[in-house]
Structure formats: structure tokens, C-alpha cells
């Protein structure tokens, strides 16, 4: 679970770093990704990996389109308006999903059926696939951001939009790309999560809220912070569920988050800047 939170939090942070928008529809993109994958596997009879690829590409394209059509217009408006905008978009996606696929609960068939026993600890392949997927995605994104031209251009854009524009970086295209990557990561997270939680239209909401907590815990705007925050939230949830009385499983992450915000408002890896007047 922690890795999923980390992945979704990664999506939040990517968009926040580049465009300073907070995307509350991330969880619903995750849900859409899982549904598209389910549709291509169960309805069209495609193999799992083809479904995976189709879902990620389709949702990534959708994310880019969303940026180009809707979110580019609100740049410069108060952050809060944008948050509400994405909440509205999320509600629309959920309605779209319930009208298209109905409100039943689906199971996604996966090739990860077996278990793997290492030194007396039994690990199911499903959970291993989540961990492996997270590692691969994080490694890929790390390499992309630090070693490709576009990745470095994205970093520049996130530091100073105007300066990046003057340097000849196509800022609009970069924004769309960031949205595409972030939506693609959300879709991948959704597909990895699907065998664990099953697919329904509300699967995204709960995950997104926890992932949001993870992103804040790690310090909004720090990519390693997001992943670590996600893992921490997942672990807290696990241990609280196992050791504390009933009812703490869902609240413990938030209690930790509140304490964290009181003690260190900028998060674990965040930086606090003071505006010069």
C-alpha cells in the first residue's frame, strides 16, 4: 500500500513542482486508468501487458489534453481556485465512469498469481509487483529528470517559469508533458492497485487523500520525499491497524500528519522560503 501512496503522491508532486497546481483529480485519474485497463483486458480480450500499455498511454494523453484545454487557463489565479477546479473535474470523472462502466465492482485478472517464499516469509506476487513497479517507475523518472534534455527543461520550468520561457523552453508543451507523465503514473498506480482493492468508481478517492497526506508529509515539492512519505504513511497504517484499537487504522496517518504539520510545517524534505519584500 505504501508504494501506491508513494506513486500517487509522486503524481501530485510532479504537477505541483512544475506548474504549482495541486491536482485533486489524481485519485480519479488512477480510477480511470484501472477501468481502461480492465476494459481492454476483460472486454476486448487483450493480454494484460497490452492493457497496461493502452491504459497508461490513454490516460497520459488525457492528462495532456486536460492541461491544454482546461488547466492552462487558470494559471495565475489563486491556488485555491485551482484546487476546487480539479475537485470539480474529479467529480465529473467519477460520474463519467459510473455512467460508462456502471457502479459494480470488478476484478482485474493479472498474471501475478503465485507466492514467493524467502527465508520463511511468504510474499505474494501481487504485492511484489507493486513494489517492483514503484521501483522501476521511480528509477525511470529519476533518470528522465536528470539525464535528458526535456527532463532538465522541466526542472528549469519548475524553478522559474518566466526565465525558462526566455531561455527558449516551450513552457506550454512542458506543462502538458508534466501532466501526461503524472497522469500516466497515476494510471500505472491504479492498475497495480487493482488486484488488491478491486476496481470501483470510488477506489481513487481514499487513496488520493492518503497520498495527499503522504506528499505533504514528505514536503510538497520533493520527489524522494513523496515516495518516502507514501511508504511511511503505508507503514503507519499497517502498524496502527495491527497494534492499536479498532478505528485507528484510518486515522493514525492523519494524526501523524497533523503533528508533523504542527512541529515542522514544511514537511520532512521540504524547504521553507521567506519572501523578500
Partner 1 sequence: MRFQFKTSYNQDIRLFRDKVDGFWYGLLAVAVVALPLVLDDYSVGEISWVFIYGICGVSLMVLVGYTGLVSLGHAAFLGIGAYAHAYFIMHGAPWIVAVVMAVVITTACGLIVGLPALRMTGIYLAIATLAFSVIIQEVFSRWESVTHGFAGMKVDSPVIFGVAVADGRSFYFLCLFFMVIVLWLTRNLLRAPTGRAWIAIRDSEIAAQSMGVNLAIYKSMAFAYSAGLMGLAGALFAHKIGYLAPDIFTILLSIQFLLLVIVGGLGSLHGAIFGAIFVALLPPAIAILRDSIPDTMNQWAQDSGVTALGLLGNAIGEFLRKPGVEAGIFGLILVLVILLEPLGMYGRWLKIKLFFSTFPMYKASTFKRQKSYMRSERLR
Residue selected from 20, 106, 131, 141 as contacting partner 1 according to rule CB under 8 A: 20
Angle between helices 223-243 and 125-147 (to 10 degrees): 160
* Binding to partner 1, residues 126-165 (CB under 8 A): 161-162
Q: Is 35 in the site for partner 1 (CB under 8 A)?
A: no
Report the C-alpha gap between 144 and 9 in whole angstroms.
18
Q: Is 96 in the site for partner 1 (CB under 8 A)?
A: yes
Query: Could you tell me which residues come within 8 angstroms of residue 67 by beta carbon, excluding any fewer than 6 positions away?
Result: 175, 176, 178, 179, 180
From 53-61, 105-113, 227-235, 258-266, give the range in contact with partner 1 by CB under 8 A: 258-266
Q: Tell me the three cell numbers of residue 12.
A: 501530485
Match 501526461 to its residue by C-alpha cell: 180
Report the C-alpha gap between 79 and 179 in whole angstroms.
17
Residue selected from 43, 44, 49, 99 as contacting partner 1 according to rule CB under 8 A: 99
- Report whether 226 contacts 9 (CB < 8 A): yes
Q: Is 107 in the site for partner 1 (CB under 8 A)?
A: no
Residue selected from 65, 261, 268, 269 as contacting partner 1 according to rule CB under 8 A: 261
Taking the complex as a whole, how short is the minimal distance between the CB of residue 218 and partner 1, in angstroms? 12
Report the C-alpha gap between 13 and 26 in whole angstroms.
11
Residue selected from 43, 44, 49, 77 as contacting partner 1 according to rule CB under 8 A: 77
Q: Which of 1, 62, 7, 5 is nearest to 29 (CA)?
A: 62
Residue selected from 47, 49, 95, 142 as contacting partner 1 according to rule CB under 8 A: 95
The residues of the shown chain that bind partner 1, judged by CB under 8 A, are 19-20, 22, 70, 73-77, 79-85, 87-92, 94-96, 98-99, 103, 161-162, 201, 209, 212-213, 216, 220-221, 247, 250-251, 254-255, 257-258, 261-262, 265, 273-275, 277
Amino acid at each position: 500500500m505504501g508504494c501506491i501512496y508513494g506513486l500517487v503522491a509522486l503524481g501530485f508532486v510532479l504537477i505541483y513542482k512544475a506548474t504549482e497546481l495541486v491536482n485533486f483529480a489524481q485519485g480519479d485519474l488512477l480510477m480511470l486508468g484501472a477501468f481502461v485497463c480492465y476494459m481492454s483486458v476483460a472486454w476486448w480480450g487483450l493480454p494484460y501487458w497490452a492493457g497496461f500499455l493502452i491504459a497508461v498511454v490513454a490516460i497520459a494523453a488525457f492528462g495532456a489534453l486536460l492541461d491544454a484545454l482546461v488547466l492552462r487557463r487558470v494559471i495565475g489565479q489563486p491556488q485555491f481556485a485551482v484546487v476546487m477546479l480539479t475537485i470539480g473535474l474529479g467529480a465529473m470523472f467519477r460520474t463519467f465512469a459510473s455512467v460508462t462502466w456502471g457502479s459494480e465492482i470488478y476484478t482485474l485478472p493479472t498474471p501475478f498469481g503465485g507466492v514467493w517464499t524467502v527465508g520463511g516469509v511468504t510474499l505474494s506476487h501481487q504485492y511484489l509487483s507493486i513494489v517492483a513497479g514503484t521501483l522501476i517507475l521511480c528509477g525511470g523518472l529519476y533518470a528522465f529528470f536528470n539525464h535528458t534534455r526535456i527532463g532538465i527543461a522541466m526542472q528549469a520550468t519548475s524553478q522559474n517559469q518566466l526565465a525558462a520561457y526566455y531561455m527558449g523552453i516551450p513552457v506550454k508543451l512542458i506543462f502538458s508533458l508534466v501532466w501526461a507523465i503524472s497522469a500516466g503514473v497515476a494510471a500505472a498506480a491504479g492498475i497495480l492497485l487493482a488486484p488488491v482493492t478491486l476496481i470501483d468508481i470510488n477506489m481513487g478517492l481514499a487513496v488520493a487523500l492518503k497520498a495527499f497526506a503522504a506528499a505533504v508529509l514528505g514536503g510538497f515539492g520533493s520527489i524522494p520525499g513523496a515516495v518516502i512519505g507514501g511508504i511511511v504513511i503505508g507503514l503507519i497504517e499497517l502498524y496502527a491497524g495491527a497494534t492499536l484499537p479498532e478505528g485507528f487504522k484510518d486515522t493514525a496517518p492523519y494524526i501523524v500528519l497533523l503533528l508533523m504539520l504542527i512541529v515542522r510545517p514544511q514537511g520532512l524534505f521540504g524547504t521553507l522560503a521567506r519572501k523578500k519584500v
